[in-house]
Amino acid sequence: MTQTTIGGTRKKVINALMMAGLIIVFIAYMFPFIMVIINSLKQKRDIIKSPFSWLFTIKGLSFDNFVKAFTQMDFLNAFKNSLIVTVSATVLVTLLAAMLAYYIVRHKNWISSVTFSLMVASMIIPFQAIMIPLVSIYGGTLNILNHRLTLIFMHTGFSMAMSVFMFHGFLNGNIPIALEEAAYIDGCTHSQTFFRIVFPLLKPIISTMVILNALAFWNDFLLPSLVLTDKKLLTLPLSTYSFYGTYSADYGTIMAGLLLCVIPILILYMVLQKQIINGVVAGAVK
């Protein structure tokens, strides 16, 4: 807002051009999502024969797909499962990763550097390479598969490296140590300093990480499919299995199911975006 008021006509033209460019790119980005919305209201034949046609020219536009997806997925139960897993794992990983990253940034010792290098390196491990060993250990040896807690624990472990990496970057660049030193002089313990001073300052990155992690947990398919087999425990993506056939798939229902799955995440994103902005404002006021 500060930018646009300064400068003459040349600036205005550049701004207009940039705006136009942005809108074009924006449409390209939104396009597949719009396609999903439109086609979720159509039936399979129309999806295949006329995927782009405007909704109301088509016979049989309806919310049938949503009703079918909702019932076949056992939506409410799956929603509950997904919610429990996603919320617990997100809270856990955000907290633990922020603490671990804080330790690494503020303690320059060998444990920190080894841990950090190990984490960075581990982000490159292809999941397929540890899939079978993982189930052998947790299923074959420990026999603790098929519990929500196991899934929460695994989600936390798998996203730890990436989250620590992100917190590490933010802590290094944006949190001045002077604040903490002041807190110590005031007699705060390390835990108090972290939770009262540092953690609130992490708001922008916490919001980003919450949305990224929650999204990953909410939509993940592969890991839950390895851990959970009991129908009562299935998460939302797992419960869409019946829409996929061997040779073809029930596209309308899949897209309706997808929308039902992502709406909570979209809402979360809207809410958190406000948080990101508030966080920055708070940072500027300090």
Partner 1 sequence: MKRKALARICLGLSLTLLSTSLTGCTFGFASDPDDPNEVVQEEPIDTSVDTFQYDTSLRGTSITLLNSKAEIQVALEKMSAEYESRSGVHVEVMPVTDGDSPYTKVVSLYNSGNPPTLSILDTTDVIALAEEKAADLTEEPWTEEAEGYLTEVNGKVYSFPLCIEGRGIIYNRTVIEETLGESFDPASITTLADFTGLLDRLVTAGMDRPLSLAKEDWSLGAHQLQYIYETYNGTSEGAQEVIEQVKAGELDLNAYPRVNEFLDAFDVLKKYNVSAKDPLGADYDEMAIDLADGKTAFWFNGNWAWPNLSEAGAENEDAYGFLPYFMNNDPNDFVNQKIQASPSKQIMLDGQMASEKEQAAAREFLNWIVYSEIGQQMLVKTCNIIPPFQNNPYEPSDPLSRDIYERVHNDEAFNASAIVPNDHWAVLGAAMQKYLADRSDRQELIDSIQAYWDEQE
Partner 2 sequence: MKSKSNGKDFCTFALPGLFCFLAVVIVPFLYGVYLTLTDWNGVSRDKNFVGLKNFVGVIKDTQFWSSLLLTFRYVIFVVIIVNVIAFAIAWLLTRGIKGQNFFRAGFFTPNLIGGIVLGYIWQFVFSRVFVSIGDSTGWGAFEASWLSDPGKAFAALVIVSVWQLSGYMILIYVAGFMGLSEDVLEAASIDGASGFIKLKNIIMPLMMSSVTICLFLTLSRAFMVYDVNLSLTAGAPYGTTEMAAMHVYEKAFTSRQFGVGQAEALVLFIITACISGLQVYLTKKKEVEA
The answer to whether 4 contacts partner 1 (rule: CB under 8 A) is no
143 binds partner 2 (CB under 8 A): no
Among 3, 5, 143, 191, indicate the residue that binds partner 1 (CB under 8 A). Answer: 143
Q: Give the nearest distance from C-beta 252 to partner 1 in angstroms.
A: 9
Which residues, numbered 91-130, are part of the site for partner 1 (CB under 8 A)? Answer: none
Judged by CB under 8 A, which stretch of 62-70, 76-84, 186-194, 224-232 contacts partner 2?
186-194
Q: What mask, x for binding partner 2 by CB under 8 A, covers residues 49 to 78?
A: --xx--------------------------
* Of the residues 183, 260, 261, 272, which one makes contact with partner 1 according to CB under 8 A: 260
Q: Near partner 2 by CB under 8 A, which window of 59-67, 75-83, 127-135, 227-235? A: 127-135
Binding mask 151-190 for partner 1 (x = CB under 8 A): ----------------------------------------
Query: DSSP string spanning the chain?
Result: -HHHHSS-HHHHHHHHHHHHHHHHHHHHHHHHHHHHHHHHTS-HHHHHH-TTS-GGGSTT--SHHHHHHHHHTTHHHHHHHHHHHHHHHHHHHHHHHHHHHHHHHH--SHHHHHHHHHHHHHTTS-HHHHHHHHHIIIIIIS---S-HHHHHHHHHHHHHHHHHHHHHHHHHHH--HHHHHHHHHTT--HHHIIIIIIHHHTHHHHHHHHHHHHHHHHH--HHHHHH---GGG--TTGGGGGGB-SS-B-HHHHHHHHHHHHHHHHHHHHHHHHHHHHHHHHHHH-
Q: Is 91 in the site for partner 2 (CB under 8 A)?
A: no
Binding site for partner 1 (CB under 8 A): 41, 43-45, 48-49, 59-64, 66-67, 70-71, 75, 131-132, 135-136, 138-141, 143, 145-146, 221-222, 225-226, 229, 231, 238, 241-242, 244-249, 259-260, 263-264, 266-267, 270-271, 273-274
